Copies of this chain bind each other. A is one copy, B any other.
Amino acid sequence: MGEGDAGRFPFATAAVIGLGLIGGSVARDLTAAGVRVLGADLDRNALRQAVASGAVHLPLNDDLTGLEEAEVVLVAVPVSRARSVFEKIAPQSRRASLVTDAGSTKAEVMCAADAVGLGRQFVGGHPLAGDHRAGWEASRRGLFAGQTAYLCPGDADPAAVALARALWEGLGAHVSEVEAEVHDRRLAWTSHVPQLLSTSLARALEAQGIAPDDLGAGGRSMTRLAGSDPEMWAGIIGQNPGPISEALGGIETVIQRLRTAIEAGDEAAIRGILEEGKSWSSQSGD
């Protein structure tokens, strides 16, 4: 992706609401490609930094005056705040060709967008680019290159879907269209439960008086996600309880099977589970 690569995005002005890891990184790539970016963030300091860095051309005030200019509006806030942000932007984004989001759950978010009247210009979105870091300081150019971006078109206008696809493909992501409920069930397994396992391990280690620095490389890799933002994750979990509960139950069953085999000294069963895990790992195209 070259600097000032105008024409890579089929729109000239975009608004990014929420300048954290995801929104900040989108703003950086868009401005670098010549798109005019309007930006908003509750954290005035993050907003100031985004303007100072050149990633945001026009900071929006709390009343979002100026938002009407944006052809594309991306909401990149914790999912627990998506509905209130949608309510606020709806009146000022009626002329936008696309309103989209970047939240880790999709069914409730789509429902909220519908409820506040965003209607057929709204396409749900979710780039798989988060990690345990958060905030404007963690944002960077090229964050989405080679990553998957899910799109949930729902009842959106095909032109809005095409624009959402152009946004994420322009940012270097592979776009995958999926229904919101399928997305949420899948993410429970691929993202939400891994986060909760890391948190559970950290919580259990703390109860044992074991500190992060007592771990080797393996233990550190398994507890890194425990450092993620609790507010963001409480919101995600609150919006996807059924699939997460089911997936956690599935993991518990495997752990119990392992523990039973260990207590019985059943080496064949232990080795079998270890070999299944290794065989799964070796499917990776990496």
Q: Which residues of A contact B (CB under 8 A)?
A: 128-132, 147-148, 186, 189-191, 193-208, 210-219, 221-231, 233-234, 237-238, 241, 244-245, 247-256, 258-259, 262-263, 265, 267, 270-271, 273-286
A189 CA / B274 CA spacing, docked (Å): 18
Kindly report which residue of chain B lies nearest to residue A232, judged by CB atoms. B274
Knowing A259-B248, A262-B241, A270-B234, the reply to whether A190 touches B214 (Cβ < 8 A) is yes
Q: In the complex, what residues of B have CB within 8 A of residue A230's CB?
A: 271, 274-275, 277-278
3 closest pairs, A vs B, by CB?
A227-B281, A199-B277, A212-B284
Interchain CB contact under 8 A, A131 and B218 = yes
Residue of B189, B213, B285 near A208 (CB, 8 A) is: B189
**Interface pairs (12), CB distance under 8 Å:** A189-B208, A198-B222, A199-B276, A200-B254, A200-B273, A204-B250, A212-B283, A213-B286, A221-B224, A226-B281, A227-B277, A245-B259
Kindly report which residue of chain B lies nearest to residue A80, judged by CB atoms. B267
Q: In the complex, what residues of B have CB within 8 A of residue A199's CB?
A: 258, 273-274, 276-277
CB distance from A183 to the nearest CB of B (A): 12
Interchain CB contact under 8 A, A282 and B234 = no
Interchain CB contact under 8 A, B214 and A270 = no
Interchain CB contact under 8 A, A251 and B131 = no
Interchain CB contact under 8 A, A193 and B202 = no
CB distance from A79 to the nearest CB of B (A): 13
CB distance from A139 to the nearest CB of B (A): 15
A248 CA / B259 CA spacing, docked (Å): 7
Q: In the complex, what residues of B have CB within 8 A of residue A247's CB?
A: 204
Interchain CB contact under 8 A, A255 and B196 = yes
A250 CA / B206 CA spacing, docked (Å): 11
Interchain CB contact under 8 A, A217 and B259 = no
Interchain CB contact under 8 A, A252 and B262 = no
Q: Which of A207, A208, A222, A258 has the most CB of B within 10 A?
A: A222
Q: In the complex, what residues of B have CB within 8 A of residue A221's CB?
A: 194, 221-222, 224-225
Kindly report which residue of chain B lies nearest to residue A128, judged by CB atoms. B216
Kindly report which residue of chain B lies nearest to residue A193, judged by CB atoms. B201
Knowing A212-B286, A274-B199, A277-B199, the reply to whether A191 touches B205 (Cβ < 8 A) is no
Knowing A218-B130, A255-B197, the reply to whether A226 touches B278 (Cβ < 8 A) is yes
CB distance from A192 to the nearest CB of B (A): 9
Q: Which of A147, A195, A251, A265 has the most CB of B within 10 A?
A: A251
Interchain CB contact under 8 A, B202 and A219 = no
